[in-house]
Amino acid sequence: MSHFAKVRNGQVVSIRRASPEFITSFVDSSPGEWIQTSYNTRGGVHYDQSGNPSTDQSKAIRKNYAGIGYSYDQQRDAFYPPQPFPSWTLNETSCLWEPPVAMPTDDKRYIWDEDSGNWKEATAA
């Protein structure tokens, strides 16, 4: 079984798990196009069931697994999520959004603060 995203005007509106034969014969009169997406692909890398990069990277299609509300860029042939914050930029290689400042790599939890343009340590409420 494969996963397919229904794309209308560049936006993912539905996801289905089905065989490619079913999708090609599926009678769907709603506008849009069904485009295959890879469930275990993120940032242009396909991962195995253990979460490690797969030895078969031919399965890494369309940069990221599609989600409802994601965009599909035909020229990049890539799905990418909505922009989380106005200051973040789309990485052209991975089609993932990146903050202007890297998140600290210590064992603490952080959240992005758009007003300060930096990471703040997450505190329990």
**Which pLDDT score is estimated for 29?**
76
Beta carbons of 46 and 65 less than 8 angstroms apart = no
Considering the entire predicted model, what is its pTM? 0.86
Q: How many domains does the chain have?
A: 2
Is the sign of the CA dihedral 109, 111, 112, 116 positive or negative?
negative
Domain carrying residue 124: 83-125
Tell whether 69 and 88 lie within a shared domain.
Answer: no
Mean pLDDT of the 14-29 span: 82
Tell whether 69 and 98 lie within a shared domain.
Answer: no
**Which pLDDT score is estimated for 30?**
83
Return the SS3 of 58.
helix
Final residue in a domain of this structure, among 80, 96, 112:
80
Tell whether 61 and 11 lie within a shared domain.
Answer: yes
Tokens 């890398």 belong to which residue?
Answer: 45
Left (φ > 0), alpha (ψ -120 to 50) or beta: where does 59 sit? alpha
Q: What percent of the chain has a predicted confidence (pLDDT) above 70?
A: 98
Mean pLDDT of the 9-37 span: 87
